[in-house]
Amino acid sequence: MAAGPLVGGAVTQGLSWHWVFWVNVPVAVVAALGSMRFLPESVGPRARLDLPALALISGGGALAVWGLVQGPSTGWTSGPVITALLFAVVTLVAFVAWEGRVEEPMIPLSLFAVWNLSSAVTATFLMAASIYSAAFLTSQYFQFSLGDSPLQTGLRLLPWTATPLLVAPAAGALADRIGEKALILTGLCLQAAGYFWIAAVTGHHATYLQLVPPFVIAGVGVSMILPSSSIAVLNSVAPSALGKASGVLNTLRQFGAVLGIAITTAVFTANGSLQTAQSVVHGYRPAIFVAAMFSLAGVGPSLLLVRRSGSLSVGRSS
């Protein structure tokens, strides 16, 4: 999180935004070699690959993402967008129906009967909608309203994006002692408070120094949520289901990011534009307010988390 905006800004400014996609290649190579060298091998229960489910979830996910990304620019009522979203819904419903009847499902639906898993995943979905949309909007605000370069934007985001380096490890350790619920709730409220603060000050020709305190507050918030939500999900299932639970968490986090960016971009477009510095502010303020509301919406499912010791087998309620 800390390096992403900074490296992305440097690459975009020094080369081209197209080169951003190459950044993951050396990271992936190093991660693969490190995994081979340092991670102990573990083998889960053998199961047949659920190819129909793989095709349905991949197709439905791709259609949903395409429709959500295209909606703000081409119009939510345009034929291609409506068609893509309609087929996405049909495909995802078919995925759920298939997983409910197959003997060895890719994602057992009984996972979602585990109370803590469903609550934490929902809160993470809304957290992702909040933070990714806020980061996307803020990068536009810095460049098109304040006139910063991509590299300057990455540097200005550091008080926000570098906070997890310090806070997340401590939050993870604290979650083991007091439980995840308090940390997730506090983190979501801090993140929302930071965005509300940003929405308030940007309407009065804010300077960068005025934005640093809300950036830090929002950064502390997400730093508390990230490790705690993962702990809540992974502690709620049996070891044999850890891979599937982790996959559900990470997939829905990405879907939350896409949905959040799509909705806040639509709000931005309805209230402002990138044409002038002032029109950027007109769009940014209500859009960052919506990002804050996503974070507050995550409080509801977080309240349903219950603390317990030990992990549960898939299908049992917490």
Which residues in the chain are classed under CATH 1.20.1250.20?
A: 109-303
Right CATH for 109-303 from 3.40.640.10, 1.20.1250.20, 3.30.450.90, 3.40.605.10 = 1.20.1250.20
Distance, in Å, from the CA atom of 285 to the CA atom of 194, rounded to the nearest integer, reads 13
* pLDDT (tens digit per residue) in 88-125: 999 999 999 998 888 888 888 888 888 888 898 999 99
Distance, in Å, from the CA atom of 64 to the CA atom of 88, rounded to the nearest integer, reads 5
What pLDDT band is residue 44 in, cutting at 50, 70 and 90?
Answer: low
Task: State the pLDDT at residue 146.
Answer: 85
- CA-atom Rg of the chain in angstroms: 21
In the chain, the DSSP E strands lie at none
Among 160, 262, 141, 174, smallest CA distance to 215 is for 160
Task: State the pLDDT at residue 318.
Answer: 37
Handedness of CA 95, 101, 103, 107 (dihedral sign): positive
Distance, in Å, from the CA atom of 141 to the CA atom of 143, rounded to the nearest integer, reads 6
